[in-house]
Structure 1
Amino acid sequence: MVTLTAQMSSDGGPWRLYVVLYGETEWPTVRFESGPVPTGADRREALAYLGYEVVPGAEWSWIEDSEKPFDDSTPVVLIAAVDVREQEGAAT
């Protein structure tokens, strides 16, 4: 089974969770319109909605970036990533 990367990001506004599909112009995406950082259960549900699941044993990793690369005076962008795979029988 192919392993892909799911990422979740926010620049202080809504969170966006998406599955990176190289060579595609649109990636499967879910937006969390308001509230705090989506919980693990929220993320799992969003991935399932998109037809994916976290690879067993994989954990979310977090990095911090700046809105403008190499300029730490600009707003922070938080990015999380995890390995995912298509759910068995999912139509994506």
Structure 2
Amino acid sequence: MLPKTPKPALWRFIKGSAKTLFVVEAVCFAASYGVYYRMNTNRGKSKFRQHIHENYPFVLDYYYKIGEIVGDNKARQSDASYWSTLKKSD
């Protein structure tokens, strides 16, 4: 029978780092999908998209760009008209 030799420390470090990177990437993907899903639904009720517009406008700009690239998305114009009617009523 062959004697067992311990694996090099570098190999264990690479395997551990790869597992950690995979988990972090999966969590980031799930979080970004959750934000996209929430921005894509219930504009009027939750006002989440308006909150993003007021606090993180660069995120909303990326959302609009993705929508315009993927399909014929007119969310930018509809949001602007919806928010202007809200401001007029206040």
TM (norm. structure 2) is: 0.23
Q: How high is the TM-score relative to the length of structure 1? A: 0.23
Higher relative contact order (CA 8 A, sep 6+): 1
| Higher radius of gyration, 1 or 2 | 2
Higher strand share: 1
